Amino acid sequence: MSRETRFAPFDFEHVETATAGGLLVALFALPLAGPAFDALGVTPPPVADIVIPWLFAGAVVGIVVSFEDRPVSSLGVRRPDVWDIPYAIAAFVGALLALVATDSVVSALGLAQTEGSTLADGRTIGIALAGAISAGVVEEILYRGYPIERLLEATDSALAAGAISWLAFTLAHAPGYPAGHVVQVSLGALVFTLVYLRRRTLVAVVLAHVAVNVAGVLSAVYA
């Protein structure tokens, strides 16, 4: 299927139940998992940070294939091509520059920041790196590929689709993270969102997201 191919557009009033459920899982399940565990008085092991997101991603893929009756390409899974590499590099550099450029601004505003990568907190290097790679893949499926594709169909607006997915990703990081960290995450997410809207494939943004996460873990561990 070509990158320009679109499915028949629909508006919010006619969104299928399966797609509505898929959007709810993609945009809200992950940030609600932590509060759910807290309410139950359960402390999941560190490996749960890897397993649980994959369960949600699997649920979304299951909805796409089994209930929407669509191919996985409809959530941004495309065959890689040579242009994915420069876009991935540009997204990686852009996200890092956004983080570095705002360090002084965030500090000047008195917004609290995290020290190092939160992916490395209390974890062995192996689990931290696995979590970094996993998060880079799963979060792009949940917050970029699936919702942007479906929201583009519903709104026929790249601005609306990108803004909604970007806002959901940002808000998902708000509970439990300092304000300065959330601001910087939002800027990195903006870069990834723009690149996805340009490419309409997960390859470049997944590579960039994984690279940013891994760089953060290695910096936290070895700096």
pLDDT, tens digit (0-9, with 9 covering 90-100), for 62-87: 999 999 999 999 999 999 999 999 99
> What total of structural domains would you count in the chain?
1
Residue 1 lies in a domain: no
Distances (CA, A) of 93 to 59, 98, 180, 214: 32, 8, 20, 14
Backbone dihedral angles phi then psi of residue 45, each to the nearest 5 degrees:
-70, 160
Of 117, 147, 150, which is closest to residue 133 (Cα–Cα)? 117
Q: Which has the closest alpha carbon to 192: 215, 171, 217, 210?
A: 210
* 7 located within any domain: no
pLDDT at position 117 is 55
Q: What is the band of 174 on the pLDDT scale with cuts at 50, 70, 90? A: confident
Position 178 confidence tier, pLDDT thresholds 50, 70, 90: confident
Rounded to whole angstroms, how far apart are CA atoms 171 and 2? 32
The mean predicted confidence, pLDDT, of the chain is 86
> What pLDDT score was predicted for residue 109?
65
Is 144 inside any structural domain?
A: yes
> Could you tell me if residue 5 is inside a domain?
no
Predicted model pTM: 0.86
Tell me, yes or no, whether 140 lies in a domain.
Answer: yes
In a domain, 22, yes or no: yes
**Average pLDDT estimate for 100-128:** 69
Residue 158 domain-assigned? yes
Which of these, 79, 209, 207, 70, lies nearest to 150 by C-alpha position? 70
Q: What is the pLDDT confidence band of residue 1, given thresholds at 50, 70 and 90?
A: very low
pLDDT: which is higher, 181 or 95: 95
The residue count of the chain comes to: 223
Asked whether residue 169 is assigned to any structural domain, the reply reads yes
Give the H/E segment covering residue 135.
helix 125-140
Q: Residue 53: which domain range?
A: 12-222
